[in-house]
Structure 1
Amino acid sequence: MERGFLSDIVVENCLIDMYIKCGRMDKARELFDKMTLRYAISWTAIIAGYKQNGCVGKDLEIFNQMQLAGYGHPSKHKGRGIFLSDVTVATALVDIYAKCGSIDKVCEFFDRMPKRDVVSWNAMIAEYAQHGFFDKAFETFKQVQLADIKPNSKIFAGILPAWAKTGALDQGMDIHNSIMEGGFWLDIMVGNAPVDMI
């Protein structure tokens, strides 16, 4: 600030990222609100930051502001590569579109992602399950296995209730066995999920 670099958009975005990583969304938002010029990366960084720090509703608020500012749908925006190249940002936007109830756009956006990690796969499984697209949830879970990605506790916790609701008990028990073998039973989130299957 003393040297006048705060007006540099690269510096501004780096500072916002620093505050997000430190869990100081109040400071990140303060800087964001003071920016005279915002690029796609500025918007998506704040959205991802709110998502990472569990600020429910704030990510959707910023997303709506982003659309009003003319950024619209990332897959159609000329800067879509910026949205898609960062897995964390892309995953946060997948969650945002799901909250808007647009599963078709979620699928389109997810399919365009050049990189996917276990968090992004989990987001898709959870969204499919929550919206009643159980076959899609199962299909995505199988893709995780075929991609040789090591599932985490959230993936198991997301897919087990889906299996329970479809009545596919045998398949659910197979996943339950995988949970036991992988040591995920100790995770309370996973441990409680099989109760729905009884």
Structure 2
Amino acid sequence: MKEDGIEPDVTTWNTMITSYAQSGQCHKALGFFCQMQQQADILPNVISWTAMIAGYSQNGLHDKALEFFYEMQQVGVRSDSVTISNVLSACAHVASLQKGKEIHGYIVRNSNEFHSSVCSALIAMYSACGNIAGARWVFDRTPETDKHLVLWNAMIAGYSQNGDNSQALELFRDMQIRCGRLDSVTIASVLPACAGLATLKQGKEIHAYAIRNGFVCVVLVQNALIDMYAKCGNIRYARLVFDNMSERDVVSWTVMIAGYGMHGLGEDSVSIFRQMQQAGMKPNLVTFTCLMSACSHTGLLDEGLEYFSSMTRDLQIKPSMEIYACTVDLLGRAGRLDEAQKIIESMPFQPNACLWGALLGACRMHSNIQVGEYAAKQLYKLEPENAANYVLMSNIYAAAGRWYDVAKVRKMMEEAGLKKPPGCSWIEVKNKLHTFVQGEESHPQMDEIDATLDRVAG
């Protein structure tokens, strides 16, 4: 790269590398980076390395981003907070807790730990890797002066993503007191916690806050509201939010399809999907997963099989493990168990427990011992400590009157030290969540509850 005999300086090299990396042309960015390495008087600096790491991470090449970071350390270029934030993002996407901890150690050794952008990236990394305790450790040790909005949002989102919805709501209330202000990301992060706990009252209060503060027109917030209302049992409100959107992205359509599906309204899911196509919005893999699930749960066999075929035929989308599981469930519910087994065995990758579990559940429904035994055998290998698989096979034998086989399965469970996990349910009354676990009577109003149930049953 040379014009009019003028050698480019480091700024020019970095500009070219960054431009190509940000536009997704990482191979061209790498070409310039390699040329820069060959210069006698100019070598890649922290900006050059960071541009490559960010380019790889932002374009889904997370392993390459991590490779570049380690190579950067080997050549002695010291990273800055932007480098660290991008490489932690790569760790989060590949869910590599070990590498994330290594980079956290590097941060501590280089005294960059309490930079707010790095702290939020650490929280996101630990959360994505399922280590919510590690995320909270970082949050609690960040000085109050550095706990900006982004940090609170990352911690709330981390709790929601890991299913710790009560903690997400508790931190949200704490944030309102201590931080003083929220933004659209806060609202979109806490609404899934309301959805997870089915706390409709709390969800409506947050919706009202979003309206008062002008966040309700943000697509990110609207999508979260649709999801919250659907999961809290109010599909009508979910549809109202959807209908009032001035702009919709693929997530908006997908969440509405999923909402109808979870309410057993498969035909409405199909209708929304067709409207999505008519609007010129291209569905993605998650859209098809939700659509196939809706078809499966409502017995729309022909529609489901057609959509399964059209994915690869018309849109060149490769089915995921979840899509195959929905298709197996769809065929299984229709009693076409041999076809379901053939689909599992013809997959381009090894089937997981979810697939065999769907087939075993269908065998229970249709009392098919032969296919059930085959599915159970696979599950015993994949999940030897999952008592539910043994119980399901035992039920299939019991329905057929094969008591000797029932006893044999129970003996297998005893020898493995397995017990069926107790059932659990919860209900919200006057903005308070009450949890009930099978076999436990620890609730303070248990006597009154038992007396009421006896009256209803009698």
**TM-score between both structures, scaled by the size of structure 1:** 0.72
Is 1:79 the equivalent of 2:79? no
Q: How many equivalent residue pairs?
A: 182
- 1:122 is displaced (CA, Å) by 0.9
RMSD of aligned residue pairs (Cα, Å): 3.5
- What do residues 67-101 of structure 1 show as CA deviations (whole Å, max 9, x unaligned)? 5xxx4654x9752731x222111211111111221
Structure 2 counterpart of 1:13, from 34, 46, 49: 46
Distance 2:68 2:191 in 1: 41
Counterpart position of 1:184: 215
Alignment of 1:81-120 (within 5 A): 81-82=111-112, 84-114=113-143, 115-120=146-151
Counterpart position of 1:57: 93
- The DSSP-based 3-state class of the residue aligned with 1:145 is helix
- 1:128 is displaced (CA, Å) by 0.5
- 1:55 is displaced (CA, Å) by 9.6
Contact 1:118 1:151 in 2 (8 A): yes
- 1:181 is displaced (CA, Å) by 0.8
Amino acid at match of 1:87: S
Amino acid at match of 2:219: I
Alignment of 1:36-47 (within 5 A): 36-38=74-76, 42=79, 45-47=82-84
- The DSSP-based 3-state class of the residue aligned with 1:150 is coil
Contact 2:92 2:125 in 1 (8 A): no
Is 1:159 the equivalent of 2:159? no
Alignment of 1:121-136 (within 5 A): 121-136=152-167
Alignment of 1:138-177 (within 5 A): 138-177=169-208
- 1:44 is displaced (CA, Å) by 6.1
Distance 1:169 1:130 in 2: 19
**TM-score between both structures, scaled by the size of structure 2:** 0.34
Structure 1 pair 66–94 and aligned structure 2 pair: CA distance change class (3 A): closer
Contact 1:43 1:66 in 2 (8 A): no
Distance 2:56 2:200 in 1: 43
- Structure number, greater radius of gyration: 2
Structure 1 pair 77–153 and aligned structure 2 pair: CA distance change class (3 A): closer
Counterpart position of 2:342: none
- 1:165 is displaced (CA, Å) by 2.6
Identity %: 27
Distance 2:108 2:184 in 1: 36
- The DSSP-based 3-state class of the residue aligned with 2:111 is helix
Distance 1:176 1:144 in 2: 17
Distance 2:52 2:120 in 1: 16
Distance 1:168 1:65 in 2: 37
Q: Which structure's relative contact order is higher, taking Cα pairs within 8 Å and 6+ residues apart?
A: 1
Following TM superposition, where does structure 1 have runs of at least 4 consecutive aligned residues deviating by more than 6 angstroms?
none
